Structure 1
């Protein structure tokens, strides 16, 4: 299969040439995407690069890491490439790991692979505690909103994808900036693509992160909630109506009924100074307890409902042409 590497280039002139040099001969094409970089990364690469595999792409305006990768995806699809590996240009991702990421795709075991820095305890020893905690929280939120309960480290940008699967996605609608990796997982789940984690170590050099937790946290919460709702509606109401749907609907109705009934009688007893009878308390508590059991059963069903059959096995190789 034809393998390409996509490198988003934004303020990475100190590292990107070393990254390109470390990419092995199994790669046919290297897409270096200058995302309207103020350091003119694209021109820097064209001037100093000696690797004939490199093709520099220029975005007319800054579109963020998502916009840069989408540009590379579209170029790879147009060129008839089979697998695209995304590696950052700041030196944090070891190109020598590339065979590990493409191996499950070559064997037909997965449609999309991504790095996981949490697989081995030793690999997180150099990770700042704030990042460690933040990634753990984001991982759980992503499991809820995207449905891939078998993965960790959702913000990890070291990824590999089959282009035949990428053609099934609305690439033009993907998030362009910090939410790109999570939105990618959400879109992959809607087409039932198989995603697999690849263990890797974390590396922190002299780069500076532009991600401000306090600024993006409300946005992340809102977007996770929106995708959770969309995933539920699509998978449990529109695409299918299954036992998970029954568990979730019955559980929600029972919890709400018990909560409203109990709150009304508690308020009435507070105003009248007459305590509620034991029967009234049971009538409020029993639906809540049964409802919680139903919601737990729904969660168990959702966890066991992750995609297991790779989509790429049933898809033809995409013809040359641009993706929407």
Structure 2
């Protein structure tokens, strides 16, 4: 049983050594542990720092492509290197390395495909009140959209079985965390949480520059991911709302027509008719998008079979 610990990095030469030192070198049930660094276009010699500490694999992007792309590159490399379990952690030592034992335990026991480290957001001393509220609201939203029982949706501390990794295809340009859970829920994977420990932040996040930017990007990722896997539901809802709103001015016109005062109310008929047409068009787009989604599922299944063949 091979475990590969992957660490996406962007200018992490200063913090990476401490993170590497904290990683476990032996875990019960694991025959070998290897470390994979994804250098996402760093300009501070992050790769050099990784080599000095003897990491087993380094994947380097020529330019900074973002966390989601770095994560997917790591998954692809780990699968190619024969990983049976893949653990993703951060380079800034936010997560306690020894808790990797907790993460892999449900996968080893055959109880989970994906395990997410729960930072205990509600009581975490390293989080301020606003961040706690934001994290809890976001996790509750992702929990509903993904139909998974996850309480810390944006935690990057995760263990993934080989079979699950072969099915995951991240398309977001921002972060993999929420999209991965929505995919996992849609694909009926077993996803569980385990409590883990965290260390204090040593620097501001490099994923986003401000809280509003994080909220906007995360919300866009959730909407896009949910719409990708549930297009008919999303477009039918949008179309139904438009048609419902459009029915109001039409009913208004009918009322005035029945009492003999239809003159001057033609605009209600035009507006209502336009909204109903838009609603019907939206539902038709949803049907087409659903068919396209079925084709995407076939392509994903083909990619999964190809990955199995490459094994």
Q: TM-score, normalised by structure 2?
A: 0.71
Contact 1:101 1:198 in 2 (8 A): yes
User: How far is the alpha carbon of 1:233 from its aligned partner?
Assistant: 4.4
User: How far is the alpha carbon of 1:176 from its aligned partner?
Assistant: 3.5
1:218-256 CA deviation, whole Å, 9 max, x = no partner? 34333323333444447x79xxxxxxxxxx99xx979x7
**Matched position secondary structure for 1:84:** strand
Contact 1:78 1:320 in 2 (8 A): no
Which 4+ residue blocks in structure 1 deviate beyond 4 angstroms? Answer: 256-265
**Matched position secondary structure for 1:167:** helix
Query: Is residue 2:229 matched to residue 1:224?
Result: no
Give matches, 1:171-182, under 5 Å. 171=169, 173-177=170-174, 179-182=175-178
Give matches, 1:131-170, under 5 Å. 131-148=131-148, 150-169=149-168
Contact 1:117 1:200 in 2 (8 A): yes
Q: TM-score, normalised by structure 1?
A: 0.68
Number of paired residues? 255
Contact 1:12 1:41 in 2 (8 A): yes
Q: Distance in 1 between matches of 2:17 and 2:240?
A: 58
Q: Distance in 2 between matches of 1:194 and 1:90?
A: 28
Q: Determine the structure 1 residue equivalent to 2:266.
A: none
Q: 1:142 to 1:21 in 2, by over 3 A?
A: same
Give matches, 1:256-295, under 5 Å. 260=247, 264=251
Q: Determine the structure 1 residue equivalent to 2:34.
A: 29
Unaligned runs of 5+ in 2: 27-31, 260-303
User: How far is the alpha carbon of 1:11 from its aligned partner?
Assistant: 2.2
Contact 1:9 1:42 in 2 (8 A): no
Q: Distance in 1 between matches of 2:104 and 2:185?
A: 20
Q: Distance in 1 between matches of 2:309 and 2:47?
A: 25
Contact 1:111 1:194 in 2 (8 A): yes
Q: 1:32 to 1:229 in 2, by over 3 A?
A: closer
1:26-67 CA deviation, whole Å, 9 max, x = no partner? 352100111111212012222x21x3x532221122121221
Q: 1:230 to 1:70 in 2, by over 3 A?
A: closer
User: How far is the alpha carbon of 1:215 from its aligned partner?
Assistant: 2.5
1:47-105 CA deviation, whole Å, 9 max, x = no partner? x21x3x53222112212122112122111111111000011111111110001000000
Contact 2:178 2:221 in 1 (8 A): no
**Matched position secondary structure for 2:116:** strand
Aligned with residue 44 of structure 2, among 32, 39, 46: 39
Q: 1:34 to 1:223 in 2, by over 3 A?
A: closer
**Matched position secondary structure for 2:4:** strand
Name the structure, 1 or 2, with higher relative contact order (CA <8 Å, separation 6+): 1
Contact 2:126 2:201 in 1 (8 A): no
Q: Distance in 1 between matches of 2:250 and 2:82?
A: 62
Give matches, 1:201-220, under 5 Å. 201-210=197-206, 211=208, 212-220=210-218
Q: Determine the structure 2 residue equivalent to 1:189.
A: 185
Q: Distance in 1 between matches of 2:33 and 2:119?
A: 27
Q: Distance in 2 between matches of 1:78 and 1:228?
A: 29
Q: 1:113 to 1:263 in 2, by over 3 A?
A: farther
Unaligned runs of 5+ in 1: 238-247, 273-314
Q: Distance in 1 between matches of 2:214 and 2:201?
A: 23
Q: 1:12 to 1:320 in 2, by over 3 A?
A: farther
